Structure 1
């Protein structure tokens, strides 16, 4: 950026430097005036030019310029009158508040209000880049990950930043208690993070703190241009399942999930791992592995499932208490975790005439004053459990009053107080934590929902106190045929912090409608939604003069120079036939570059896509196949000189024949390109993800033996070959349980080969033995050896003991000592000790 000041100026004009490669309209007025003369009434006049062509000019209101140094405030400059000399500029400014990618000359002049004589000016050349967020492709959202060292893969942002340096940062956080991935990102310590990643692929390092089987994690990628943060991806969630796992349990889960595929469920449109993740997660809660062996995990409960006695009592009290303590001898590589970690979850449950009301209290000592609140309090009604109980009583007793009570209660779909996570839709309110209330009411055909209120805590230089209120109303239930109107408003309290740092207080309004109709006995579903967004990037910016601004919106929001407007829509049709086992879906969507919902942060925008899905089962669901094709392109508002296109495909085949190994095969190719005329930055790349899983359980009179085998292959190729890579992982597991002995043994062997920008060969071996006493006390001892040839190796010894007394408590103890050594320095040698205590009691 070059800045020049008028040599003959009486008044010096100093324009603040915005973030690199970015310039918003409000940045035009972030100036400081140095007046060596007398005080005078003045106004500012600004221009934006490209290649000596005037694109925009703007004039502020009059204000007093005293003698000396004057930092101009937004209130003094309001209102600002803006004139745009191009429909293209008008469109991009309205939607995003910025300009197309390019170099612009921006000037600010000071004029005397009484004489219109120029008193001073400054001009600067700014380079603006509009590039997309990176798109996460593996693990996909909701995926179950099974590799010891998972590979994280994403599509690079487009278009290329040219001669500027592009790098990435990956952030992984554990999802605690009832959190969503979005909430975990703003509240929790980094489980692992790494900056200065030059390629769009990263393998979880052997030196890092291990991922815990049965736990959920959130991950995202940030983009840096010339080492300056530019943008960040969406937040995806994944569940981790250690390859050193009870093989028989996993085989049963996978086989069962194939046969029970819900062809009738419209919401089940994701890949196979999404289909089975809940099944597996439930089993993992009951028996998961700390590292390579069995342990009990009692710490991921939401609302407990209640067991009723045969007679409904007027009042009952029950509770669940879960606690966990972890001790680490040092902070893990790439992590911000404490050395001592304690979390306690206490769930008292009050049952009034069968109505379960629970308090969910969660405490974690990892709370950080620079992050959002990690601890939570929630007041929850388990309405579905009560409805089931009322239906049972109504059938058994046939009392009229019970039928009336059921009718009343059935009108409520959701009641929650305290820490809540309302979900309206992916594009309006989704995954955001609120402290307040969430109600959903559906009497007859009428539908009403309301949620709020506090969204973010005030943290100096990090965030303003934010409030969010949302509501929906209309006819029909959310899951059935319906027509709903949605309104959301989020706003920051500008005085909630004293030091803004680099952040600004924001305001956001989202309005829209969604509809769905089901026909022919629910075989055909047609639906869609459309939302408009008004987003103010800085509510302290100058007022904007808009002649045609709707008066009804003036009561909700005051347009500023930093206000942007945009919209999105999605429409689709779904067909399913239960008898033939056929499911077909077709959808299209368009998300404008300026569409923002603070109720669904991180949403990818500036894209349009069309998607097709075909799912077919054969032989009573013993065979299931699925094909997906999605074509996507960005730059729908012409913010860039080029347009990028991405073709995503998916092929899945699952076989589940009795007495032979099941087979699960997934293949996902990705193809991306752009239409840039310059060959040096023209994009042509492809990526492939292939997974094969198979396994079988065998039993005799004396033992049970379970074996599984998995192949995972990922690669990426670019036009210039600079970031090409491929990773092949082979994994074999076997578990042998002796039926007439308290002993069982197991082991796993994995092999990984990496080529391209990263070259290495590695293998991992795990062996363990389990001794169980009376099915109540299990003790496991094992060892693991992992080596990345000529680079590093890691040896681990572990012991795990679990004691379960059903009527009293459940107690777990585990300890692991690992020794990590490097031949080529990257993270440094490390000896790590990890100790963990679990205690759980239910009454």
Structure 2
């Protein structure tokens, strides 16, 4: 008799384990664990036949304890991946606790900063105790770091009709995160935010995986003398994760592009070159810099803006003497530089300051 009971118990245990293995709950707390509505973004993966089920969700926070209990009505799941039906979402019972964290959620409709645990239990519709699948997810909610734009810089004047747009990656990193880049023309008397909200976009690029965007070839090029506004949004699926400020810039080439002619041996101050914004390097970069300290090597680096993955190598060493220095940087024989490409040179001055010079490389004729 005892042997029969043991066999029966082991059979029940094996059946429950098999059901759990055949059905799993999929949820991404980093993306959807910040709101009550986000809890319903969970999906149910089912390897067996059609089942009638219901879902219980318990949300807890490490310091506050239990925050919310969500109970759905009965619904069916079939083989494959199943989303929670919309009518089930509308009729779900949501009970919030009586504590400061739950009260914050009542007022603001999102979860405040904290260390959260999300317990999902998928129950059989025909039984109040049979758990088909149970899974626990955890996530620490912290304020996202600002999504900072890099270039074109705010209120800058540029000379690229198809500029490269760059920004800092969204932090914390989320698998599958994508970016949307919007650029619009600013009309007269509009500020950048108004332009972005009301004007038709020149660039509206979704699905950007990296934190840079080469100007789309199907977008019309920018026009001399006009101002533009742009913004980057980080998102996953249909959920916005982070959004940058709105920056503006102007396309103004006439006063900002300076070509060094072959017979021009003048050396301009590094400060003047930086203010000039863009510089056409005809095989050489010539500038003057003051070193008030002892003789030392000039620290500098050059990066390719047109193709960020391209490495600029074999740059010549430059030694600064004390006092006024005229620097003649010969890059005409360096194969790292390509005609028509844009570059940025970062110079680390002896006094600790840093200067950045953007230039377009032109082969020496």
Tell me the TM-score normalized by structure 1. 0.24
**Higher helix share goes to which structure?**
2
Structure possessing the higher relative contact order (Cα contacts under 8 Å, 6 or more residues apart)? 2
**Higher strand share goes to which structure?**
1
Tell me the TM-score normalized by structure 2. 0.48
